[in-house]
Amino acid sequence: MPSASAASVETKPELLLTLPISAYHPTLSIAEDAIYLLTEVAAYRVVPGAEPEVFQLDLGHGAALTQHEFVFWSAGAVYLAPKLGGARERVVTLAHEPQYFVANEDHFAWLDHGEDGGFAIQTVDGGKVCTLLAPQGQVVALTLMQDWAFFVEVGGGGAWRIGGVRQTNQPVYGSPHTGRPPSMLASAHDKLYYYDGPRSQISELSPDLQHERAWVKDVICSPIAVSNAAYCGSVEGVFTISEQAPARKMLEPNGRSMVAAIVANDSRVAWLRDAGPDQLALETLAIAH
């Protein structure tokens, strides 16, 4: 594995925000216009070089961001609220809080964990809760790509597989795996990516889940975000790597704290640091092309 010390830091990351809360519970999202940090009680819209905007909202745990709105659960219902500020809109009644929401520009869904221990991937259709799938096993990761929900399902004996489902379609599944399952899925440019810890590689999957390959080998990348390259958190810091550039390029050495979350688009990468007990730091770096 290439040494992290061999990679250079060309630009110092910008510290955008610090808060006296844990770095492991908020949701971090990135859009063309800003970086968004969603906490239990407020949404922060942060544009590099400007003061953060704060929207006081009862977002609870695991809120998400569509192209125009925050999606979240509060007091027995799913709500949408404009991401530039404004009154919230009740979407559908939902008795208990989901584990978390996932969203992209046009769609959102959530992972439900019922009192019976079962899991369900759900969304809204016609003003009603629509269950896309209630898998037999445990769902440990969920993401959206277009109108498909992709998930990691762990079955009996510890075997796991990646599946995909959308409304009116039967689910599709990739090949079964053994060993530690991935804790998150990333999507970019009509491909799925995940960090395969036991094999120390980033794997790439076609959207039909029938073609899987090692995209980058000999790497530790958790958490992971993928855009024009993979952006990785590790004990050594934040770095970028890709199939075309397999030598790691360190963006910020980990001199202070662990990386709790990371997001990226084609122009910027941002991450949350665990800056101490109940302390987080939001940092960002423009991507050079």
**CA gyration radius, the chain:** 19
Instruction: Please identify every stretch of the chain with a pLDDT value under 70, giving residue numbers as ranges.
Output: 1-10, 255-256, 289
Residue 165's pLDDT is: 97
Residues 200, 219: contact at Cβ < 8 Å? yes
Q: Given this model, what pLDDT does residue 2 score?
A: 36
pLDDT for the residue numbered 158:
81
Token pair for residue 51?
Answer: 């003061």
Asked whether the beta carbons of 221 and 260 are under 8 A apart, the reply is: no
**pTM to 2 decimals?**
0.92
Range list of β-strands (E), 166-248: 172-173, 186-188, 191-196, 201-205, 212-217, 224-226, 230-234, 237-241
What pLDDT is stored for residue 219 in this prediction? 94
- Position 6 scores a pLDDT of 34
Q: What is the pLDDT of residue 12?
A: 85
Query: Hunting for tokens 């609220």 — which residue is that?
Result: 81
pLDDT at residue 289, as a whole number: 64
Q: Which of 141, 127, 109 is nearest to 224 (CA)?
A: 141
Provide the pLDDT for residue 30.
96
- The reported pLDDT for the residue numbered 9 is 39
**Pairwise CA distance, residues 205 & 191, whole Å:** 6
